[in-house]
Structure 1
Amino acid sequence: MFIKTCLLLLLCGIVSLSAHGYEGYKIYDINARNSFEKQLLLRLANNDDYDFFDMPRSLEAATRVMVQPKDQEAFEQTLQRFSVDYMVLDENMGNTLQQDQLENKSQRLMSQRGADRSISFTAFHRHAEINAYLDELAKAYASRVRVETVGKSYEGRDIKTITISNGDGKSGKNVIFLDAGIHAREWIAPAGALYVIYQLVENFIPNADLLKNYEWVILPVVNPDGYEYTHTDSRMWRKTRKPAGTCKGTDGNRNFDFHWGEVGASSSSCADTYKGQTAFSEPETQIVRDLLLGLTGRGKFYLTLHSYGNYLLYPWGWTSDLPSSWRALDEVAQAGAAAIKSSTGTKYTVGSSTNVLYAAAGGSDDYAFATAKFPISITMELPAGGTGFNPSTAQILPFVTETWTGIKAMAKVVLNKY
């Protein structure tokens, strides 16, 4: 029944391509050589018409931005006026995304026809398929898995968590809480969460030590409305979908009530980093808040998956100051980075959010650490694929297996110390 349902969902959407096709949009890589050029890019990033994919502090890393056709001439002239080096990474993002979408639909169709389990890591799955997978696990592994609908999104989609244990019946265990998909376009993040679920549930025996004295609570898609919108209408959409001012959506990772709106968040409802009309204005962030507060005392490790950039980040996001316990945070994050480097050679940068990237208040990691009292709180930014947010289907499995290596290493440090 599950596979038939997924095939029906797939076939119903097989002919629909994104209404917002990004035809003629260009992706630029900009190599700032000094602090003046970095400041210039920061000023350009204040323009809501430019979609800055990332803005690393390091002069060694390029800044990537997407620009629509009407703004390209002025954008390039500005860079040329100040002799800033740049290259066009993609001349037509619309064509790239259309090819990506067709490939993903093809892979989903093949995986549902021949899968030996109800989820695959050869395609990006829709929200209904993800929820169906959680429900299948709850039925198949009833002694170790509990699935709960913890609330509804603005558009009425069920938001579900899966709680995973070793089935020994002991209550009151400490908890690792993991979420993903706060930002809609970061498809690899929910895929990473699903792979963690797969490892803990379907590959239980080699991972049993991770569940001996801990439960894992995982919310694989925080923002299902935005996530679905990226599949059906606008692939690079980032926010939620609740109307706000003259536009729609709020940046969920600027909407948490800890130093909300102080820095790195926009008051413009049309901006990708819009902070919301109030802290916790979004039903989706309210759900995460309530889950985190409900775990106060038991919650030891909060991990939120994002993309992209190969970062393991910890508080604070609102200031360059470090919390008094930063060494404990750093130890856990460094363990994850070292495990990944040893396994695949991929390098992750470790540090506080503000000092490694940029200041951004109202994030879930700061809230979990400061208000819900999780002693370890980390944001994991998975690697870039494609032009950044659009990994190919062939990249999914390598990325999520690598991510699991880092998560497992971090979890083991937490299990041994908290």
Structure 2
Amino acid sequence: MYFKFVVLAAFCCIATSAEFTSYEGHKVYDIKPENTVHQELLARLAQNDVYDFFTLPRVLGLSARVLVQPEQQAEFEQTLQAAQLPYEVVNENFGETVAEERMQNNFFRNLRSSSRSSISFSAYQRYDAINSYLDQLAENYPSRVNLKTIGKSYGGLALRTITITNGDGNTNKKVILLDAGIHAREWIAPAGALYVIQQLVENFEENSHLLETYDWVILPVVNPDGYEYTHTNTRMWRKTRKPASKSCVGTDANRNFDFHWGEVGASSSACSDTYKGASAFSEPETQALRDLMHSLTGRAKFYLTLHSYGNYLLYPWGYTSALPDTWEDIDEVAQAGAAAIKSGTGTDYTVGSSTNVLYAAAGGSDDYAFAAAGIPISITMELPAAGNGFNPAPSKIEELVRETWLGIKAMAEKVEQKY
């Protein structure tokens, strides 16, 4: 209680010019379908853009979670009750949660703003702080760290990769490619990528075996325009920020890749959170990631993209319930990650193909990396929410990125054994 008072007091007098979107009165529902009829109802509801489904698993026994605005709540609850679909309100006022998260995050971020020696995991870092950290690593470890700008966002922000090596000068090693932040609001994903970077660079002695035959190429923020917008304006913004129509902005970058683009699980409506874009690779951010993938074809053996939330390790296909011929190879790697996390922390991860575990969604980066860029192991990792309505509270970041690293490290070790 004392801590909460201090945080609130610290920010009650700080003026800001930002116009934050209010989520006052929005509720978060946890819904557990008991049969296929329930699942089909939820799938139909998810097609309505007024409901913001955070997760919608297809596996019975796993809960869906959805954010509903005040004016829609009565009808939404009546629909669930009529279908005898069990639900629980897990957050009565999402607006309060967002406001508290913002205050706590700013409080802890400001406490560490004077330090550039390492990154802090007590707060979600802004784009500039992430870049400052990368710059400091390049300065401190010039033989093992190389930075590159692979493109720019629609808003002109640099898309920067960090290549991490063991400094032996071999420029033709195999590669693990990792990215995060395709969806703007998933703050824990860039935090997870930053922890991987820290472990490989600053904790090199303990993790040097991961760099003997592989280099790591990491793009910690794929969608910096959207990421910044969630910090300054609309917390639950998901898309890019390029205008999509006269009245709507942004494309779901993870529906914008040119592999079965637009076939299923993506919207043609420019205002939808899952808008596929006017064309495949309509966004400069997805173009840059595509080009990065192809530049590593032949060398890249493992593509890992970090998202949130839900404790899932997912692999192709996202456009169909069918599985690729080599699915068992990918599953073996994903299962190694899940087992390491379970052993280390007790957290359970669900493993399987995207369509069969969650939902069909064509145009994703993982399908494209596997099918078009020829990367044999391609996995989407959905990080936990730690019981919160969406992202983990700032106080939970370090605990979760440590847990995530257990899984990523185990998957990398399995890939090194196989390729």
RMSD: 1.4
Residue 92 of structure 1 corresponds to: 93
Residue 4 of structure 2 corresponds to: none
Q: Which amino acid aligns with 2:133?
A: Y
Pair 1:14–1:170, CA change in 2 (3 A): farther
Gaps of 5+ in 2: 1-10
**Contact kept in structure 1, 2:116 and 2:133, CA below 8 Å:** no
1:106-158 Cα offsets, whole Å, 9 max, x none, are: 01011224x47231111100001101111111111000100011111001111
| Distance (Å, rounded) in 2 between the aligned partners of 1:58 and 1:135 | 43
- TM-score, structure 2 normalization: 0.94
**Contact kept in structure 1, 2:90 and 2:389, CA below 8 Å:** no
| Distance (Å, rounded) in 2 between the aligned partners of 1:84 and 1:311 | 24
Matches for 1:260-339 after TM superposition, within 5 Å: 260-339=261-340
Pair 1:358–1:86, CA change in 2 (3 A): same
Residue 7 of structure 2 corresponds to: none
Residue 81 of structure 2 corresponds to: 80
Matches for 1:218-237 after TM superposition, within 5 Å: 218-237=218-237
Q: Report deviation, 1:213.
A: 1.2
1:58-94 Cα offsets, whole Å, 9 max, x none, are: 2212211111112112212222222222221111111
| Distance (Å, rounded) in 1 between the aligned partners of 2:28 and 2:152 | 35
Residue 119 of structure 1 corresponds to: 119
| Distance (Å, rounded) in 2 between the aligned partners of 1:416 and 1:33 | 40
| Distance (Å, rounded) in 2 between the aligned partners of 1:123 and 1:293 | 34
1:349-405 Cα offsets, whole Å, 9 max, x none, are: 111111111111000000000000001000011111353422111110110001111
Matches for 1:95-174 after TM superposition, within 5 Å: 95-113=96-114, 115=115, 117-174=117-174
Residue 195 of structure 1 pairs with residue 175 of structure 2: no
Matches for 1:54-65 after TM superposition, within 5 Å: 54-65=55-66
**Contact kept in structure 2, 1:153 and 1:225, CA below 8 Å:** yes
Partner of 2:42, secondary structure, is helix
Residue 383 of structure 1 corresponds to: 384
| Distance (Å, rounded) in 1 between the aligned partners of 2:132 and 2:415 | 31
Partner of 1:112, secondary structure, is coil
Number of aligned residue pairs: 406
Q: Which amino acid aligns with 1:34?
A: N
Q: Report deviation, 1:14.
A: 6.9
Residue 53 of structure 2 corresponds to: 52
Residue 3 of structure 1 corresponds to: none
Pair 1:297–1:382, CA change in 2 (3 A): same
| Distance (Å, rounded) in 1 between the aligned partners of 2:112 and 2:39 | 44
**Contact kept in structure 2, 1:17 and 1:98, CA below 8 Å:** no
Q: Report deviation, 1:416.
A: 1.7
Q: Report deviation, 1:413.
A: 1.0
Residue 347 of structure 1 corresponds to: 348
| Distance (Å, rounded) in 1 between the aligned partners of 2:44 and 2:332 | 35
| Distance (Å, rounded) in 1 between the aligned partners of 2:31 and 2:391 | 19
Q: Percent identity?
A: 66
Q: Which amino acid aligns with 1:238?
A: R
Partner of 1:270, secondary structure, is coil
Pair 1:49–1:411, CA change in 2 (3 A): same
Gaps of 5+ in 1: 1-9
Q: Which amino acid aligns with 1:237?
A: W
Q: Report deviation, 1:329.
A: 0.3
Residue 175 of structure 2 corresponds to: 175
Q: Report deviation, 1:161.
A: 0.3
| Distance (Å, rounded) in 2 between the aligned partners of 1:127 and 1:26 | 29
Q: Which amino acid aligns with 1:272?
A: D
Residue 25 of structure 1 corresponds to: 26
**Contact kept in structure 1, 2:309 and 2:391, CA below 8 Å:** no
Larger mean Cα displacement after TM superposition, 16-25 or 102-111: 16-25
Pair 1:116–1:293, CA change in 2 (3 A): closer
**Contact kept in structure 2, 1:16 and 1:232, CA below 8 Å:** no
